[in-house]
């Protein structure tokens, strides 16, 4: 069985945002399963750390420190990969952020849209275009893009961000169908609530921790490794029959879709039900909640 492992032995992987929480965990998972890794990220110090960690696992690692929102940086990345390894078998597009741009859509600016476009979609177009010809030639390739549950459901006050994450899903589907006959699988992963640099690892005081299961059915924030497992699956032979999908890896937030856990039940009216639970007398003044 091809999935007894190592799962990606001898493959060359490029991970953009490779020094991020999900990116780093993906680099390590791929290296543990036999891949050499190019770690591409804008953060020099963290990139160096991940390169060292991959090296510590006995795999070859090369770091490329660059702002991948520029055309030149993507070209430099691809030149480096070509020079060092001669090919890309696995491309993981981990760069993406909402950039803290939040507010009413009518107040958003063209500069914000442009910045969100560049960091969430443009580099995905560029990197995919760069790697597909070689993958086609060799008859094997894996592309894993990163969208977000917010590219699927709404995210009020984050309209432009959701548009570009949704576009990643859309692009992924179309590329996937185009390249599937050449032994290339292109898929995406939509995550939610993952402890990562861009959300300051959801750092909060300990007394706040008990609230997390209210909105994450699995009961905790995701760690990079939870998502890296999906990357490894899609990047290996195990994912060979998955074509053009967005795998949602979110601990249940999307499926919950408006349902929340209160101390005694699940509800789609969280504050109302909690108020009724906190004040039993309230049930005598108002009709009891159905759920
Ligand atoms: N963490 C979450 O809760 C969450 C939610 C939804 C979607 N996502 C998506 O998951 C993916 C992985 O992010 P993460 O959660 O690991 O976050 P992270 O902040 O830990 O990692 C992102 C990495 O990308 C790098 N980066 C940012 N801009 C760059 C640029 N212009 N050029 C090169 N590198 C750049 C950062 O330095 C960082 O190391 C992203 O596409 C993100 O949009 C994450």
Q: Is the domain of 251 the same as that of 262?
A: no
Q: Is the domain of 205 the same as that of 160?
A: yes
- Asked if residues 64 and 54 have their Cβ atoms less than 8 Å apart, the reply is no
Range of the domain at 279: 258-291
What pLDDT, on the 0 to 100 scale, is given for residue 276? 73
Report the nearest-CA residue for atom 41 of ligand 1.
Answer: 96
- Check if 17 has its Cβ closer than 6 Å to any atom of ligand 1: yes
State the Cα torsion 3-6-12-17 to the nearest 10°.
90
pTM of the model: 0.95
pLDDT in tens, 35-85: 999 999 999 999 999 999 999 999 999 999 999 999 999 999 999 999 999
What pLDDT, on the 0 to 100 scale, is given for residue 165? 98
Q: Is the domain of 272 the same as that of 178?
A: no
- Asked if residues 117 and 41 have their Cβ atoms less than 8 Å apart, the reply is no
Mutate which of 96, 114, 193 for ligand 1 pocket (most atoms within 8 A of beta carbon): 96
Token couple for 124: 């995905």
pLDDT in tens, 196-205: 999 999 998 8
The Å distance, Cα 273 to ligand 1 centre, comes to: 36
Q: Is the domain of 168 the same as that of 286?
A: no
Res. 210 pLDDT band, cuts 50 70 90: confident
Q: Is the domain of 241 the same as that of 281?
A: no
What's the number of domains the chain is made of?
Answer: 2
Q: Is the domain of 83 the same as that of 118?
A: yes
Q: Is the domain of 273 the same as that of 245?
A: no
Q: Is the domain of 229 the same as that of 262?
A: no
β 61-65/36-41 pair status = parallel
Q: Residue 70's domain is classified under what CATH number?
A: 3.40.50.720
- Check if 148 has its Cβ closer than 6 Å to any atom of ligand 1: yes
Q: Is the domain of 272 the same as that of 148?
A: no
The Å distance, Cα 288 to ligand 1 centre, comes to: 44
Q: Is the domain of 144 the same as that of 201?
A: yes
Q: Is the domain of 174 the same as that of 110?
A: yes
- Check if 197 has its Cβ closer than 6 Å to any atom of ligand 1: yes
Position 2 pLDDT exceeds 90: no
- Check if 193 has its Cβ closer than 6 Å to any atom of ligand 1: yes
Provide the mean pLDDT of the chain. Answer: 94
- Please identify every residue annotated as catalytic: 161
Q: Is the domain of 22 the same as that of 135?
A: yes
- Check if 94 has its Cβ closer than 6 Å to any atom of ligand 1: yes
């Amino acid at each position: 069985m091809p999935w007894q492992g190592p799962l990606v032995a001898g493959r060359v992987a490029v991970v953009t945002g490779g020094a991020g929480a999900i990116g780093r965990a993906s680099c390590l998972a791929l290296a543990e399963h036999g891949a050499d890794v190019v770690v591409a990220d804008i953060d020099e110090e963290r990139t160096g750390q991940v390169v060292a960690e991959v090296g510590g696992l006995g795999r070859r690692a090369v770091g490329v420190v660059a702002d991948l929102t520029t055309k030149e940086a993507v070209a430099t990345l691809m030149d480096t990969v070509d020079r060092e390894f001669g090919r890309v078998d696995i491309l993981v597009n981990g760069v993406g952020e909402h950039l803290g741009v939040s507010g009413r859509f009518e107040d958003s600016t063209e500069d914000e849209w442009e910045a969100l476009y560049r960091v969430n979609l443009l580099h995905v177009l560029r990197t995919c275009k760069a790697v597909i010809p070689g993958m086609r030639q060799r008859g094997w390739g894996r592309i894993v893009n990163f969208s977000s549950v917010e590219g699927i459901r709404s995210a009020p006050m984050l309209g432009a961000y959701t548009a570009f994450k949704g576009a990643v899903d859309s692009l992924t589907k179309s590329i996937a169908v185009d390249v599937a006959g050449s032994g290339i699988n292109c898929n995406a992963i939509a995550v939610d609530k993952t402890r990562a640099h861009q959300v300051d690892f959801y750092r909060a005081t300990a007394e706040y921790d008990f609230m997390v299961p209210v909105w994450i059915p699995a009961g905790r924030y995701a760690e990079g490794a939870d998502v890296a497992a999906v990357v490894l699956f899609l990047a290996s032979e195990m994912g060979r029959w998955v074509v053009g999908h967005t795998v949602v890896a979110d601990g249940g937030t999307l499926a919950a879709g408006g349902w929340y856990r209160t101390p005694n039940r699940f509800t789609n009216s969280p504050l109302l039900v909690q108020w009724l639970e906190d004040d039993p007398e309230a049930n005598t003044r108002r009709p009891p909640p159905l759920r």
